[in-house]
Amino acid sequence: MYLLMPRQPRQFETGEIYHVFNRGVEKRKIFIKTQDYSRFVLALEFFNRDIKTNLWDYVAKVGSDPTFARLERERLKKSKPVIELLAFVLMPNHYHFIIREIRKGGTSLFMNKLGGYASYFNKQYDRVGALFQSRYKVVPIKTDFQLDIIFPYVHTNPVELKERQWKVGKIKDKPDAIKWLENYKWSSYRDYTGSPTFPNVTQRTFFLELHGGEKGCRKAVEDWIKFKAENTQLDIDTKLYKSGV
């Protein structure tokens, strides 16, 4: 008889920054329709609060009961976040977050709540079983290299949708790729560069100060695209992910 040992809970240090990511089981899409992306972004906002929230209830009533929606928004505004969600990007089959732990257990609580998206997805598409490949991956941001590149690294993920060989640094049209990012809705990049899409979802002070404001954030991303295109042999993933847990 074999006994399955419970997985050890992850340890997050208050004040530290983490790259958190996951993808669909068998690399399947976790977002199919615009509604799925919208639902997930709403979850990022709702579940990052220190109060009990019912996203199913809110979505069901928001269109027919404006008073309920207004009161729920006011309640959220008065509550406090459990993490700092510094940045995010949603791709058809995976997501990336940059998170700062601001209270003990905050990241674990947030991610556990967010796991409920699988229930929504399975109900929406009449399926059963796991949606995500495994439990989410976590990489502590410890080195200067990691800190310098994590913001552009995460936000340039959508380039792959335009330039299929982006992962290996090959890109046909850099200006077009930059424009593509500026128009890509499902990330926090636009919120950092003066065209806010989801301003209530992320806490942006840290990276705005680190990179020198909106222009600096834009420059960091554009420089990263150029750098990666000119350094195709650099093993970036190993340097960034080597301490993943």
Q: In this predicted structure, what is the pLDDT of residue 169?
A: 75
Which residue is associated with the tokens 């009533």? 61
Q: In this predicted structure, what is the pLDDT of residue 53?
A: 85
Q: C-alpha angle with apex 100: 166 to 168, nearest 5 degrees?
A: 10
Residues 151, 217: contact at Cβ < 8 Å?
A: yes
How far, in Å, CA of 197 to CA of 41, rounded?
Answer: 11
The mean pLDDT of 115-126, rounded to a whole number, is 95
Q: 139: part of which helix (H) or strand (E)?
A: strand 137-140
Reading the block at residue 88, the tokens are 């995010």
From 84, 212, 224, select the one nearest 145 (Cα to Cα).
Answer: 224
Sign of CA dihedral 19, 22, 27, 29: negative
Which residue is associated with the tokens 């996203």? 55
Q: In this predicted structure, what is the pLDDT of residue 243?
A: 47
Q: How many CB atoms lie within 10 A of CB 113?
A: 17
Distance of CA 240 to the CA centre of its chain: 16
pLDDT at 163 > cutoff 80? yes
Crossing angle of helices 106-114/34-46, nearest 10°?
150
Return mean pLDDT, the chain. 90
Answer with the residue of higher pLDDT: 54 or 116.
116
Phi–psi pair at 88, nearest 5 degrees: -155, 160
Predicted structure pTM score: 0.90
Sign of CA dihedral 63, 64, 70, 72: negative
How far, in Å, CA of 49 to CA of 241, rounded?
Answer: 29
Q: In this predicted structure, what is the pLDDT of residue 134?
A: 86
Where do runs of H (alpha helix) occur along the chain?
A: 34-46, 55-61, 66-78, 106-114, 117-124, 144-155, 159-162, 174-183, 189-192, 205-211, 213-230, 236-241
How far, in Å, CA of 172 to CA of 165, rounded?
Answer: 9
Which residue is associated with the tokens 């329709």? 33
Residue 87 β-bridge partners = 98
Give pLDDT tens digits for 19-74.
999 999 999 999 999 999 999 999 999 999 999 888 888 887 777 788 887 888 88
In words, the CATH class of domain 17-241 is alpha beta
From 139, 169, 162, select the one nearest 236 (Cα to Cα).
Answer: 169
Give pLDDT tens digits for 220-243.
999 999 888 887 656 666 656 554
Residue 138 β-bridge partners = 20
The model's confidence at residue 76, banded by pLDDT at 50, 70 and 90, is confident
